[in-house]
Structure 1
Amino acid sequence: MKLRCVAFERPGRGLLDYVFRGFVPGVVLLLLSGCSSLGYYGQLAQGQWQLLRARQPVARVIDDPKTRPALRQHLQRAEAARAFASAHLQLPDNRSYRVYADLGRPFVVWNVFATPELSLQPTTHCFPIAGCVAYRGYYRQGAARGAAALLRQQGQDVYVGGVEAYSTLGWFDDPILSSMLGWGDERLATLIFHELSHQQVYVQDDTAFNESYATFVEQEGTRQWRAAQGLAAPSDSARQQREQFVALVLRSRERLQAIYAGPSDDSAKRAAKAAEFARLRAEYRQLRDGPWHGDGRYDAWVYGPLNNAKLLPFGLYDQWVPAFAALYRQVGGDWGRFHRQVAALGRLPAAARNERLQRLAPPRAGISD
């Protein structure tokens, strides 16, 4: 299952939006994989089926006189963004994000991440279509918490995060979900651009490639979407803060990696791990209270429990964005040529693909494999 993560716009929810960006369909996994328990795939199939049953055409919801005015306005603007995505950004022209589903809950899926206590190596789960991913998704919060508790009993570091949207990579008509509507109209538009990019090009077992490509399309698409509406370019301040925060976490992760790989015994490594998380919080405070002028948008994440598993998603979604930006410039801003070039890159072996991306533009400072 492919779960989405967008920008750290707000403590808690905004951070989770960034940390998870959509991942493959439960029911397809049930049909195509025999490598896990029937119970786990059963809940995926049931959750996906309930989601499919809840879908309604956006046009029908808009025309329904019982629809709340605020919802109607959200969906009307989303329709305009959806049309722009296919007509201008040359993203797939299908029924995805032209249907709506009311979930009746704040998250569509809860993801469970896990690592050993003294390692940053994730516990991975491999699926036929999505490839190997560093989490498991659950449609019920109780099931996610139960799975997390079992992993903790095994001595693993565990992190559970609620996800407000995911993509089925074109296997189904992905709906606009009620859980997405609190983001605002522009955030909803950027989600549509991002998730349709996954339908355009998706490379198995290369999360950094997939997410960096979709993130570039989201960012450049949003800039062009705003221009088409006569709006000013989006402010860089939020993006810069996000990049600074991600770099801060990645530096902490690199220091932890060195600690775990070092010669100290487990007791000393545990003490060094605790000291490193204290350092992360102290460096965050300096950033927040200094150049950010007290903006505490990441307080909830930083001051919540910290462990290895909570650090796993960082560094995947921006790594190759500069390379894709360079490729877009090379083709003169022609979206069709751009998508074809990206697809050609995706067909290369992993080593050749990364070498080509490195030649286009090195990854951003502090973000690496």
Structure 2
Amino acid sequence: MSERVPLAAVVALGVTQIIGYGTLYYSFSILAPDMAAYFAWSIEWVFGALSAALLISGLTAPWLGVLFDKIGAGRMMTIGSAVAAIALVACSYAPNKAAFMAALIAVEVAANLVQYGAAFALLVQLRPQVASRSITYLTLIAGFASTMFWPITSALHAHLTWQNVYLVFAVINLLLCMPIHAWLSHAASARRVASSAAYPRIEGVLAPARRRLGFGLMVMGFSLMSLVSSAVLVHMVPLLSGLGLGTTAALTGTLFGPSQVGSRLINMVFGKTLPALHLAVIAAILIPGGTLILLLTAPSVPGAMVFAVVFGMGNGLLSIVTGTLPLQLFGSDGYGKLQGKMMAARLILSALAPFVLALGMANMGITPSLSITAALGGLAVVAFIFIAVLR
């Protein structure tokens, strides 16, 4: 049987990923100032609440990953769309800070159910033989989430309160994403019932005796890359301002998004035969490499532009390899559980990184803090090279 990417499923998932990331993550930064004013919080406390919600949701990720395997990623994504809608409504009607915090935790748990980790597991369950290509195509489509939902959220917020914007987003998750996920769940269930010979399982390249160490190294590599990415992106404006590049913040932002999508497009066209481990090493070099370029060239505007392109390309590839590398190393069996464990480590570090970098910048200064951050990112390269040695 010819191995074809399930394009209809990938496109449908691409739509729900754009909505999932747009409504549950990217919209927050635009609505946060009004949330702070409504609850009489400082803006720092509002983002602190988001970090706490991300941290707590990270602790639930391993359990959710087991459920992806046990009852199917499609079913979990269908449930996740309903939970996302309910959580957004709960946020919009929260009468006080405690209720808002609880609802925000529910939003981030729902995000774990409908975003990349779940979507990658669904693609593996649909057609494991071509899952790596399917994941690459999906990340290319979903890369437009911020490009689409920052202006959409801003346009809605110009006419609606933040509560009403969240109500609109709840309706979108319920009426658009949930039916798509239900359809994909049915398709995945039908595939399970079909002959197992139709789409054979994928065998991992790591020997069973080396998988525990290999998994630890992989999680360490991805977590360190996520730490650098999260810390730098959250503090992009103060970092650039502190390095004498405050006027380039908007330009850097416009280059970052297209660079993410561009790296995924280049990989899709020219990197079809490139092993996932090699791609992981490239991504692990680009993310701290971009940070070093910023440090070494500041306050040069061309240097800041190169930083945005290199850093953006590294982040674009990171999204791909978090889906494809576990499949290459460990195979398709238990893939959802692996994604759950990885999501936990990445979410916890991503939640803590902005806070830790803020402390570092306040106490040590920007240059030493950013240097340490880049050095930590460089350790990801070492982790992936050790995985190559294990093979």
Q: Tell me the TM-score normalised to structure 2 length.
A: 0.23
TM-score normalised by structure 1 residue count = 0.24
- Higher normalized contact order (CA 8 Å, seq sep 6+, divided by chain length): 2
Q: Which has the higher helix share?
A: 2
Q: Which has the higher strand share?
A: 1
